[in-house]
Amino acid sequence: MAQATRKKPVAKIAGAAVSTRIAAQSHFRTLRLGTPLQPRIDALAKTQDWYNWAGYRAPHSLWDEELEYFAIRSQAALFDISPMTKYRIEGPDAEALLNRVTLRDVTKLKSGRVHYTAWCDDEGFVLDDGTLFRLSPSHFRLCSQERHLPWLLDSAVGFDVIVEEETEAVAGLALQGPTSFAVLRDAGFAGVEKLKIFDLADFPHDGGTVTVSRTGFTGDLGYELFVPADKALSLWDRLMTSGEPRGIRAIGYTALNRARLEAGLIVANADFTTAEHAIRADRLRMPDEIGLGFMIDLEKGHFNGRRAILEARAKRKLRYVLVGLEIEGNIPAEHAIVYHRKAQEVGLVSAAMWSPMAKRNIAIASLARPYGDTMVEDLWVEIYAMRELQYQKLMKRAKVVARPFIKLDRRTANPPADF
Partner 1 sequence: MTGQNGDHHAKFRAFGNGSRKNEERVVRKDWAKMKAWDAIVIGGGHNGLVNACYLQRAGLDVLVVEKNDWVGGAATSRELTPGFLYSNCSYVCSLFRPEIMRDLELPRFGLQVISYEGGAVFTRDGDYLANYRDHDAHRREFARFSKRDAEAYDRYARDVTRQCRFIQPLLMRTAPDPTSLRPRDLGELLYLGKKFAGLSAQEMALTLRFWTMSISEFLDEYFETDVIKANFALSGIIGTALGPMSPGTAYVLLHHYMGEVDGSVGAWGYARGGMGAVTKALAASFKASGGTIRIGAEVDHVLVQRGKAKGVVLAGGEEIYGKLVVSNADVKRTFLKLVEEKELPDIFLRRVKNFKIRGSSGKVNIALDSLPEFPALPKDSPVYRGDMHFTDSMERMERAYDDWKAGRWSADPFLDMVIPTTLDPTMAPPGKHFMSCFVQYAPPKVNGREWTDADRDGFAESVIAQIAEYSPGFRDRIVHMEVRTPREIEAEVGLTEGNIFQGELTFDQLLFNRPVPGYAQYRSPLSGLYMCGSSTHPGGGVMGAPGRNAAAEILRDLAKSTSHMSPAHDVI
Contacts with partner 1 by CB under 8 A lie at 1-15, 18, 21-22, 24-29, 31-33, 52, 54-55, 123, 146-150, 153, 165, 276-279, 281
157 neighbors 97 (Cβ within 8 angstroms): no
249 burial type by CB count under 10 A (0-12 exposed, 13-18 middle, 19+ buried)? buried
Compute the least distance from the CB of residue 12 to partner 1, in Å: 7
Compute the least distance from the CB of residue 143 to partner 1, in Å: 15
101 neighbors 302 (Cβ within 8 angstroms): no
Compute the least distance from the CB of residue 14 to partner 1, in Å: 7
85-90 β-sheet, strand order: 113-120, 126-136, 139-144, 85-90, 162-165
Compute the least distance from the CB of residue 275 to partner 1, in Å: 9
68 neighbors 252 (Cβ within 8 angstroms): yes
Residue number, 87 or 303, with CB nearest to partner 1: 87
Residue number, 13 or 314, with CB nearest to partner 1: 13
Nearest to 265 by CA among 175, 362, 338: 362
3-state secondary structure 85-143: EEEEEECCCHHHHHHHHECCCHHHCCCCEEEEEEEECCCCCEEEEEEEEEEECCEEEEE
Residue number, 5 or 374, with CB nearest to partner 1: 5
100 neighbors 74 (Cβ within 8 angstroms): no
Compute the least distance from the CB of residue 181 to partner 1, in Å: 36
Angle between helix 253-262 and 65-74 (nearest 10): 50
Residue number, 85 or 102, with CB nearest to partner 1: 85
Residue number, 10 or 314, with CB nearest to partner 1: 10
Compute the least distance from the CB of residue 405 to partner 1, in Å: 32
Residue number, 38 or 180, with CB nearest to partner 1: 38
